[in-house]
C-alpha cells in the first residue's frame, strides 16, 4: 500500500439515468483534477426512483451503470467504485450490486449487498428492499494493488459490525460504504456508525453518499465522508448538495494506529 488521495462523491440522483451519469462524470473529473486515485460513487448513483420503475428498467440501468464504470475508470486512469445499482438475478428480482474497477477497466470487486433495508421509520416512511432485491452471500475483499486491500459494503450494511470485522480480519485496510442513508436516520446514526466501524477495525473508511430530495418523499442525509483509522473525520461534503469529500490515505498512519491499538491481534471470538 502506498499513499494516495481518495474521493467520496456526493450526488443527488434522480430517475433520469443519463443526467445521473453526466453528474457522476463531472464529479469524477473534478476529483481526478484534485489528485484522486480512488473515487467512490454512492449507492443508486445511476438511478434513484420508485421501486417499480427500478424493476422495469433494471437491465437498462445495470448495462448503463457497468459500462459507465468500466469506461470512466479507463478514461481517468483511476480505481472507481460504483456504489450500488440494480442487477437482474434472472428470476424477476435484483441484486444491489457494487463494483470496484481498476484503472485498466478490469472489475476487481463485485459485491452484492448482504443486508436489506426493511424498516418502518417514525417519520412515516416504510422501506422494503427485500420486495425487489435478493441478499448477496459473499464477503468481498478486493486487491487494490498500491491502494491496499479494500473491503466492500453498501449502506444498510453499516449497521452490522460483524461484516466489517470479517473484512478487517481478512486484511482490509480501507473500507468503502457507498450509501443513500435516509435523512431521518442519518442525522442521528450516520456519523457515529462510520466512526465506530473505523475505530473498531482500525481501517480507513470512505463513504460516498446521496443527498437531498430525489423523488416523492425520498430524502437522503448527505455528508459523504472519509475517516482515518483513529475515527477522525478527514473530509465531509456536508448536506448542501452535490460535492466531494477528498482526503489522503496514509499507510504510515494505518500502521501507527494498528501498532498502538492492535485490536485485530487481540480478537478472540470467531
CA dist 140 and 143 (Å) reads 10
Average pLDDT over residues 70-95: 95
- Grid cell at residue 23: 453528474
| End-to-end Cα distance, the chain | 27
Instruction: List the beta bridge partners of residue 111.
Output: 98
Buried b (16+ CB within 10 A) or exposed e, 155-175: bbbbeeeebbbebbeeebbbb
CA distances from 178 to 39, 91, 151, 156, 255 (A): 11, 26, 12, 10, 25
User: Exposed, middle or buried, 125 (CB in 10 Å: 0-12/13-18/19+)?
Assistant: middle
- Grid cell at residue 138: 459473499
Average pLDDT over residues 219-234: 98
Q: How many CB atoms lie within 10 A of CB 48?
A: 22
Q: Is 43 one of the catalytic residues?
A: yes
Q: Could you give the angle at the alpha carbon of 204 between the alpha carbons of 115 and 3, nearest 5°?
A: 140
- Grid cell at residue 7: 474521493
The residues near 162 (Cβ < 8 Å, ≥ 6 apart) are none
Q: Is 155 one of the catalytic residues?
A: yes
Whole-number CA gyration radius for the chain: 17
User: Binning pLDDT at 50, 70 and 90, where does residue 78 land?
Assistant: very high
Q: Could you give the angle at the alpha carbon of 28 between the alpha carbons of 242 and 8, nearest 5°?
A: 60
CA dist 212 and 44 (Å) reads 13
Of 149, 155, 173, 242, the active-site residue reads 155
Is the pLDDT reported for residue 269 higher than 90? no
Query: What pLDDT score does 217 carry?
Result: 73
**pLDDT tens-digit series, residues 56-76:** 999 999 999 999 999 999 999
Host H or E run for residue 156: none
Q: Is 173 one of the catalytic residues?
A: no
DSSP string, 64-101: HHHHHHHHHHHHHTSEEEEEEEEEE-SSS-EEEEEEEE
Query: 3-class DSSP state for residue 56?
Result: helix
Q: Out of 26-40, 205-219, 239-253, which region has the weakest mean confidence (pLDDT)?
A: 205-219
Of 66, 113, 129, 242, the active-site residue reads 113
**pLDDT tens-digit series, residues 128-164:** 888 889 999 999 999 999 999 999 999 999 999 999 9
**pLDDT tens-digit series, residues 173-225:** 999 999 999 999 999 999 999 999 999 999 999 999 999 999 877 899 999 99
CA dist 229 and 45 (Å) reads 27
Domain ranges for the chain, please list them.
Answer: 4-260
- Grid cell at residue 67: 459500462
The residues near 58 (Cβ < 8 Å, ≥ 6 apart) are 86, 87, 88, 94
User: Binning pLDDT at 50, 70 and 90, where does residue 94 land?
Assistant: very high
Domain with residues 4-260, CATH architecture: 4-Layer Sandwich (3.60)
- Grid cell at residue 49: 426512483
Mean predicted lDDT score pLDDT of the chain: 96
Contact of 50 with 15, CB cutoff 8 Å: yes
Q: What is the pTM of this model?
A: 0.96
Contact of 138 with 144, CB cutoff 8 Å: no
Amino acid at each position: 500500500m502506498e499513499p494516495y488521495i481518495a474521493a467520496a462523491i456526493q450526488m443527488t440522483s434522480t430517475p433520469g439515468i443519463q443526467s445521473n451519469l453526466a453528474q457522476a462524470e463531472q464529479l469524477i473529473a473534478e476529483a481526478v483534477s484534485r489528485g484522486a486515485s480512488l473515487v467512490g460513487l454512492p449507492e443508486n448513483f445511476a438511478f434513484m426512483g420508485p421501486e417499480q420503475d427500478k424493476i422495469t428498467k433494471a437491465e437498462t440501468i445495470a448495462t448503463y451503470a457497468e459500462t459507465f464504470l468500466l469506461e470512466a475508470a479507463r478514461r481517468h486512469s483511476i480505481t472507481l467504485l460504483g456504489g450500488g445499482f440494480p442487477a437482474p438475478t434472472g428470476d424477476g428480482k435484483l441484486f444491489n450490486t457494487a463494483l470496484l474497477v481498476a484503472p485498466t477497466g478490469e472489475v476487481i470487486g463485485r459485491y452484492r449487498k448482504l443486508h436489506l433495508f426493511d424498516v418502518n421509520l417514525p417519520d412515516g416512511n416504510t422501506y422494503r428492499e427485500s420486495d425487489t432485491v435478493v441478499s448477496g452471500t459473499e464477503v468481498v475483499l478486493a486487491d487494490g494493488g498500491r491502494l491496499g486491500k479494500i473491503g466492500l459494503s453498501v449502506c444498510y450494511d453499516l449497521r452490522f459490525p460483524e461484516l466489517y470485522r470479517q473484512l478487517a480480519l481478512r486484511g482490509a485496510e480501507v473500507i468503502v460504504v457507498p450509501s443513500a442513508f435516509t435523512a431521518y436516520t442519518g442525522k442521528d446514526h450516520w456519523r457515529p456508525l462510520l466512526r465506530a466501524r473505523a475505530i473498531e477495525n482500525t481501517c480507513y473508511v470512505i463513504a460516498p453518499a446521496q443527498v437531498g430530495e430525489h423523488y416523492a418523499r425520498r430524502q437522503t442525509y448527505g455528508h459523504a465522508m472519509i475517516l482515518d483509522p483513529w475515527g477522525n473525520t478527514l473530509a465531509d461534503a456536508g448536506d448542501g448538495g452535490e460535492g466531494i469529500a477528498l482526503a489522503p490515505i496514509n499507510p504510515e498512519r494505518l500502521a501507527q494506529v494498528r501498532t498502538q491499538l492492535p485490536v485485530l491481534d487481540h480478537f478472540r471470538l470467531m
